[in-house]
A and B are shown apart, each in its own frame.
Chain A
Amino acid sequence: DAKTTQPPSMDCAEGRAANLPCNHSTISGNEYVYWYRQIHSQGPQYIIHGLKNNETNEMASLIITEDRKSSTLILPHATLRDTAVYYCIVRALNTGNQFYFGTGTSLTVIP
């Protein structure tokens, strides 16, 4: 699976949008982009995934660049409960169902 690069940490003011970048410049055509987050001491939680098109659900939006070499996870109105480590993962479905987690971005939402 393609490697991803994320900033180790970010801050965001409560109520503002949090934009978390991810670089995956070696992504292949059959690889999806997934985002998970892990709130302290809990198991990781799935947020969203996409292949080419931008995606939105009740938790977040995922913006994938046209060349698919990078993406941004957007939390539109960050709350204190969004403080967590956010993982960006790229994965091809034909290589099994396993996910490999990197070091992620530690997001701190500031009151």
Chain B
Amino acid sequence: DAGVIQSPRHEVTEMGQEVTLRCKPISGHDYLFWYRQTMMRGLELLIYFNNNVPIDDSGMPEDRFSAKMPNASFSTLKIQPSEPRDSAVYFCASSLAGPPGELFFGEGSRLTVL
């Protein structure tokens, strides 16, 4: 398996633009997670899905952020409109149900909002 695949790897955009980050989880995994990492706040869990259904989105910072998982092999994280404080590395991860349920992370999408 190729692992968790994220795109784009790097995105530079201007404030106010819409940003869409994409994730393909490992085939057969039941869970999908979106994390955000910044120097100030570390690695934060934004939202996670179980069998394509959002379970907990309490980490989503505000209504400008939305995530979908239309099928078992694809998820998107959308920011509209984007702001400079959204600049971060966004990681997608997937897992099977535990135990152990360890996470497998993608390589991340580095977002810069000017």
By a beta-carbon cutoff of 8 Å, the part of chain A in contact with chain B is 32, 34, 36, 38, 41-46, 49, 87, 93, 96-103
Contacts and interface: CB of A to CB of B under 8 A. Distances in A.
Nearest to A38: B43
A44 B100 contact: no
Interface of B: 4, 30-31, 33, 35, 42-43, 45, 48, 50, 55-56, 89, 91, 93, 95, 97-108
B45 A100 contact: yes
Given A44-B43, A102-B42, A97 B106 contact: no
Given A43-B107, A44-B105, A45-B105, A97 B93 contact: no
Given A34-B100, A43-B105, A43-B107, A97 B48 contact: yes
Judged by DSSP, the binding face of B is strand
Chain A residues touching B, majority SS: loop
Given A44-B43, A103-B42, A97 B97 contact: yes
A49 B105 contact: no
Given A34-B102, A46-B103, A93-B98, A98 B42 contact: no
Given A32-B99, A43-B93, A98 B33 contact: yes
A91 B13 CA distance: 37
Contact of A43 (B31, B100, B101, B108): B108
A49 B102 contact: yes
B103 A99 contact: yes
Q: Which of A36, A45, A97, A99 has the most CB of B within 10 A?
A: A97
